[in-house]
Amino acid sequence: MTTERASPAHDAEATAVRPLRLSVVICTKDRPDSLAETLETLLRQTRLPDELVVIDDGRLDVASLAEAARRRNVAFVYHNKSDAPGLAASRCAGIEKSSGDVILFLDDDVLLDGSYIAGIMSVYESDGERKIGGCEGVLQGIRYRPLQMLLLRFFGMDAPKREGQILKNFLGVLVRNIAQPTAVQWLSGCNMSYRREALASVEIPADLEGWGAGEDRAISYQVGQRWRLIATPAARLVHRKIPAARVGGRAWGFQEVYYNYLHFRRFMPQDFGHRAAFAWLCVGYVVINLLRRDWQRVAGNLHAIRRIIRRSERHSGDLSQR
């Protein structure tokens, strides 16, 4: 692993009230073009971050990234972990390598509105009681065809009237239509920010491989047990969800079911209603991927379901022997 750090000169003059310092952490793998477009919107903000941390699971041109940050007087940190890739582990590395009071995780395929950072930081800096531990912006441009939305709602994958809430199956509803700052139960990993101290007691599932489905919910749900989580319409962005270098096929199908199951088992009540909601979600994954004719993803879904059944059977057997 290699780590490089380059810092700009800072004004030595102390201020009476120190503003919060912001570190932006971007976890990336082999998507230099989309990353460059994300950085272009980041480095044109009305309020710039104090630090940019790039956690790389691939092989980026570090010199060009450092130069772009230097021109805007933003401290730059680069860490390569291509020998041990994985999004959840990259989140952990980003926290460790960053130094800001607030840590903002951005995906490498988002495009930020020009006042996005100013909107996020105003939430923290107006929080005199320091009760807000996390904040996110509003996603724009999300469009579903009528049949898509029907299927998502039918299988419990979306609930437009419950934006920012966690459903019984532990899926979260994206925030996209709020008009004022709103309390939420989770933050989307494409643009989630936290006070550093709010992350101190959080257990990040760093052992999840690849995409690490649901790790954003696992992190924010834990923070939300002790702190307030807020979504603000003053920070807007587009998440393009560019597929290149994302885990795909069978692995994606496995992770979207099994990793969500692990989070569901850890955080949600295990009564009949919740378990039935999760079982119905699994059916939904299979049906929707069949309709897409994504046979590899269906195979991954079924592999995950078989593992869940075997795990449940072993657990039942252990209980019966006690």
Are 224 and 264 in the same domain? no
Is 111 among the domain residues?
yes
Are 14 and 125 in the same domain? yes
Which pLDDT score, from 0 to 100, does residue 206 have?
66
Residue 5 has pLDDT above 60, yes or no: no
Is 110 among the domain residues?
yes
More confident residue, 169 or 206: 169
Which pLDDT score, from 0 to 100, does residue 320 have?
43
Are 211 and 70 in the same domain? yes
Are 261 and 232 in the same domain? no
Are 136 and 255 in the same domain? no
Whether 57 and 247 have beta carbons less than 8 Å apart is answered as no
Is 290 among the domain residues?
yes
Give the pair of three-digit tokens for residue 255: 């992770």
Tell me which of 39-43, 142-146, 147-151, 159-163 is least confident. 142-146
One DSSP character per residue, 98-121 reads ---SEEEEE-TTEEE-TTHHHHHH
Question: Which pLDDT band, with edges at 50, 70 and 90, does 291 fall under?
Answer: very high
- Where among 239, 271, 289 does a domain terminate? 239
More confident residue, 322 or 296: 296
Is 165 among the domain residues?
no
Q: Average pLDDT of 250-254? A: 92
More confident residue, 15 or 173: 173
Which pLDDT score, from 0 to 100, does residue 9 have?
42
Largest CA distance in the chain: 69
Are 52 and 197 in the same domain? yes
Give dist(CA 140, CA 237) in Å, integer.
6
More confident residue, 65 or 13: 65
Residue with tokens 């009540």: 269
Give dist(CA 209, CA 254) in Å, integer.
11
Are 292 and 227 in the same domain? no
Is 170 among the domain residues?
no
Are 275 and 204 in the same domain? no
Taking each helix axis as running N to C, give the angle between helix 146-154 and helix 272-291, from 0 to 180 degrees, rounded to the nearest 10: 150
Give the pair of three-digit tokens for residue 287: 């049906």
Are 129 and 272 in the same domain? no
Is 107 among the domain residues?
yes
Residue 321 has pLDDT above 90, yes or no: no
Specify the DSSP class assigned to residue 23: E
Are 63 and 97 in the same domain? yes
CA 204-205-208 angle, to 5 degrees, is 145
Q: Average pLDDT of 136-150? A: 93
Is 297 among the domain residues?
yes
Which pLDDT score, from 0 to 100, does residue 214 have?
85
Give percent above pLDDT 90 in the chain.
76
Q: Average pLDDT of 74-78? A: 97
Query: Nearest Cα to 233, choosing from 192, 181, 191?
Result: 181
Give the structural domain span for 292.
249-311
- Where among 239, 257, 276 does a domain terminate? 239
Q: Average pLDDT of 254-270? A: 94
Give the pair of three-digit tokens for residue 102: 């607030």
Are 87 and 9 in the same domain? yes
Which pLDDT score, from 0 to 100, does residue 236 have?
98
Specify the DSSP class assigned to residue 190: T
Give percent above pLDDT 70 in the chain.
88
- Where among 239, 258, 288 does a domain terminate? 239
Question: Which pLDDT band, with edges at 50, 70 and 90, does 41 fall under?
Answer: very high
Per-chain mean pLDDT for the chain: 89
Are 104 and 233 in the same domain? yes
Q: How many domains does the chain have?
A: 2
Question: Which pLDDT band, with edges at 50, 70 and 90, does 317 fall under?
Answer: low
Residue 4 has pLDDT above 60, yes or no: no
Is 158 among the domain residues?
no
Indicate which CATH number applies to the domain containing 95. Answer: 3.90.550.10
Question: Which pLDDT band, with edges at 50, 70 and 90, does 309 fall under?
Answer: very high
* pLDDT tens figures, 7-23: 444 443 333 346 899 99
Q: Average pLDDT of 190-210? A: 86
Q: Average pLDDT of 282-307? A: 96
Beta partners for 105?
Answer: 25, 192
